[in-house]
Amino acid sequence: MTNDGQPIPVIIDCDTGVDDALALLFAVRHPGLDLRAVTCVAGNTDVDGVVRNTLTVLERAGAPDIPVARGAGRPLIEPARSARHVHGEDGMGDLGLPAPTRAPADVGAIALLRREILASPRPVTLVPTAPLTNIALLLRTHPEVTANIERVVFMGGAVATGNATPVAEFNVWHDPEAAAILLTAGVPLTMYGLDVFQRVVVPGADVRRLRASEEPGARLAGDLLSHRPAAPDLAAELLSRRPPASDVAPDPEAGGIGDAGAVCAVVDPAGITTRLLPVEVSLAPGPTRGQTIVDRRPRPGESEIHVGHREQQLVDVALEVDVDRFVKLYLETVTGI
């Protein structure tokens, strides 16, 4: 809720996407959120597939009236490169879901974002859970929207280990220039990166309970979670906070909520521990491209002493997440109990 007791106005920009779908189910069901629009961008699958999946999820969630718009079909510079090997041929785990019964908005994503942000009586929280192409185009085309943006809470980047490359997370790697535009736009930012993203996992027993539900939205959440086996918690292992995955009893039916964690962080910011840190995106060709370089040094180094300070945006970077708290929040919201 906002300080005056009203639901927080949010817009999700997504590439639905199994875990984007989990995020949408959560957002439409949480009473503290007012989901004003959903915009679609190429990422996990092609943008037409993203639009179709998004409309289908909203119908299944019982929220068929939220405007949905088609956005960029490819990154600013590079070609689109899908993640179908993770999200299935249809981008939604190949669950055989029906086609949606309605069409997207008759305006594109950038126009819809502009319209909804400027029309909102309270500043909007933007939640991109996808490559940042639409957001960069919006900020460059209509910079006046920043006056009515409360904060951007984005799923993207990584402090420690990447997934698309050893150091780059998929959403930032897919369109690094777009991420750089967001990072230098001067809006307050929270980075919900891979370090916390991978940790919020729903136990198998809860996934089975959701899958057995009579209610279509909760059942869909269960089916989607069963398509998201928990990834080994590499970041925690590397920092010796957890035993190696091989020492932990496997829970093959457990599933990560992924992008939905970023929406949980909007509703319940105390569930993550953040630090305000300088963040920069590597735009260099080669092995670092798309890396988010998060400066956690306690004091300036030789580079700053000899070469001078560079302008870098400070970002609230999520370093820790209360896993049990977000799992409970997710399950209670999606099942309505």
Chain residues that interact with ligand BDR, rule: CB under 6 A: 17, 19-20, 44, 83, 86, 129-130, 155, 163, 169-171, 194, 258-259
Binding site for Ca ion (CB under 5 A): 15, 17, 20, 129-130, 259
Tokens of 179: 């991420």
Least distance to ligand BDR, CB of residue 19, Å: 5
User: Which CB, 59 or 259, lies closer to Ca ion?
Assistant: 259
User: Which CB, 22 or 105, lies closer to ligand BDR?
Assistant: 22
Q: Which of 289, 61, 254 is nearest to 168 (CA)?
A: 289
Tokens of 152: 């951007």
Least distance to ligand BDR, CB of residue 307, Å: 32
| Partner whose footprint covers residue 255, from Ca ion, ligand BDR, none (CB < 5 to 8 Å by kind) | none
User: Which CB, 17 or 222, lies closer to ligand BDR?
Assistant: 17
| Partner whose footprint covers residue 206, from ligand BDR, Ca ion, none (CB < 5 to 8 Å by kind) | none
User: Which CB, 115 or 264, lies closer to ligand BDR?
Assistant: 264
Least distance to Ca ion, CB of residue 87, Å: 9
User: Which CB, 120 or 292, lies closer to ligand BDR?
Assistant: 292
Cβ 32 vs Cβ 8: under 8 Å: yes
Least distance to ligand BDR, CB of residue 160, Å: 13
Least distance to Ca ion, CB of residue 128, Å: 9
Tokens of 217: 């939205």
Q: Which of 287, 305, 285 is nearest to 297 (CA)?
A: 305
| Partner whose footprint covers residue 258, from Ca ion, ligand BDR, none (CB < 5 to 8 Å by kind) | ligand BDR
The helices-and-strands tally (H runs, E runs) of the chain is 14, 11
DSSP secondary-structure letter at 249?
A: P
The continuous run of DSSP H or E covering 326 comes out as: helix 323-335
Three-state DSSP state, 188: coil
| Partner whose footprint covers residue 149, from ligand BDR, Ca ion, none (CB < 5 to 8 Å by kind) | none
Least distance to Ca ion, CB of residue 205, Å: 26
User: Which CB, 14 or 115, lies closer to ligand BDR?
Assistant: 14
User: Which CB, 259 or 316, lies closer to Ca ion?
Assistant: 259
Least distance to Ca ion, CB of residue 44, Å: 6
| Partner whose footprint covers residue 317, from Ca ion, ligand BDR, none (CB < 5 to 8 Å by kind) | none
| Partner whose footprint covers residue 13, from ligand BDR, Ca ion, none (CB < 5 to 8 Å by kind) | none
Chain residue at closest Cβ approach to ligand BDR: 170
Which residues in 212-248 are b (16+ Cβ under 10 Å) and which e?
A: eeeeebbebbbbbbbbbebeebbbbeeeeebeeeeee
- DSSP letters for 131-187: -SHHHHHHHHH-GGGGGGEEEEEEE---SS--SSSSSB-HHHHH-HHHHHHHHTS-S
Spatial distance between the Cα atoms of 188 and 150, rounded to a whole number of angstroms: 7
What CA–CA distances, in Å, run from 226 to 33, 83, 237?
26, 18, 24
